[in-house]
Structure 1
Amino acid sequence: MKLIIMRHGQASWSAPSDSLRPLTEAGRHEVRHTVEQLQGEGVNRIVASPYLRAQQTADIASEILGVEVDTINGITPDDRPADAIGQLPEQGNVLVVSHMPLVSALTALLCDGVPSDGPGFGTADAAVLSLEMPAAGLASLQRMLPA
């Protein structure tokens, strides 16, 4: 299976709470750029954090890839990577839309077996992982896609 871990696009700081921060126009543009690079990856499922900016990122991906979005509560910025793994689909080619620092720590946990500092993720960056199933240390980083 492939697991593509993507950080949401650039978001505005003008919102009543962190969970309600919307994408900026630049954020929408960078998300489109990244997702267009994913068109050949065979994505058949998208899961996203419930935060507005992640939902908006996933909606753009859904529009481009023709795949519906499922919301997962356990992949927000403050969630633990080990807990997040347990909520990920166990088959298919899945796009996961989430936040820093979770995207970095989750990538490290899946590839290296420890939730240390993983690769840096700019807004709308994505990591393409190859793995048999989501579990610590079982993934291989195939490539990073910058926005």
Structure 2
Amino acid sequence: MQLFLMRHGEASFDAPSDKERKLTETGRIETELMANWLAKQVNHFDLVIVSPYLRAQQSWQEVSTHLPEPRKWVVDDDVVPSGDPKIAVDIILAYAEQYKADNVLVISHMPILGFMVSEFVPSMEPPLFATSAVAHIDMLDQQTRFVAMTVPHQVVM
């Protein structure tokens, strides 16, 4: 399985609650850059899992315009900022098995994303994710390895 963990784009702090924070214009641009990059890495996603928070949903809306429709996409309360990374990883793996997914995209938040990387690749310290950054984890042949972290300023349109 090829797993791509993505942080939402830059979000405004002008909102009634954390759940309702919207992407800024910069966040939309960052997300578009990374969506184009993702489209070059993977021709389709079998499974997409997205946080219910508005900024993650908006990030998925942007990404989805650059990729074919996934076989399945799910909104999951376990991939929110305060979620338990162990539970989130178990949920991701269960969905991937259920839908026989070879290519999986998760759009979520800090700090859970960093801790999820450490759950998938125990030898790694939790990395920091810039907004719209994507961590690629290769889970083929029963071996899991961290491939790379890609951030918007590294990507050229």
What TM-score does the superposition give when structure 1 sets the normalisation length?
A: 0.89
User: Is there any run of 5+ residues in structure 1 with no aligned partner, and where?
Assistant: none
The residue type paired with residue 88 of structure 2 is A
Quick check: 1:8–1:53 contact (8 Å CA) kept in 2?
Answer: yes
Out of 98, 113, 119, the residue aligned to residue 103 of structure 1 is: 113
Report the alpha carbon displacement of residue 132 of structure 1 after superposing the two structures with TM: 4.2
Structure ID, larger Rg: 2
Give the aligned partner of residue 12 of structure 2.
12
The residue type paired with residue 108 of structure 2 is S
Poorly superposed stretches of 4+, deviation over 6 Å: none
Does residue 146 of the first structure (1) align with residue 147 of the second (2)?
Answer: no
Out of 117, 126, 129, the residue aligned to residue 118 of structure 1 is: 126
Distance (whole Å) between structure 2 residues aligned to residue 33 and residue 117 of structure 1: 27
Greater Cα shift, 116-125 or 94-103: 116-125
Matches within 5 A, 1:26-45: 26-39=26-39, 40-42=41-43, 43-45=45-47
Relative to total residues, which structure has the larger helix share, 1 or 2? 2
Out of 56, 72, 75, the residue aligned to residue 76 of structure 2 is: 72
User: Is there any run of 5+ residues in structure 2 with no aligned partner, and where?
Assistant: 153-157
Q: Deviations over 1:84-107 (max 9, x none)?
A: 012113232011000000111101
SS at match of 1:15: coil
What TM-score does the superposition give when structure 2 sets the normalisation length?
A: 0.84
The residue type paired with residue 80 of structure 2 is T
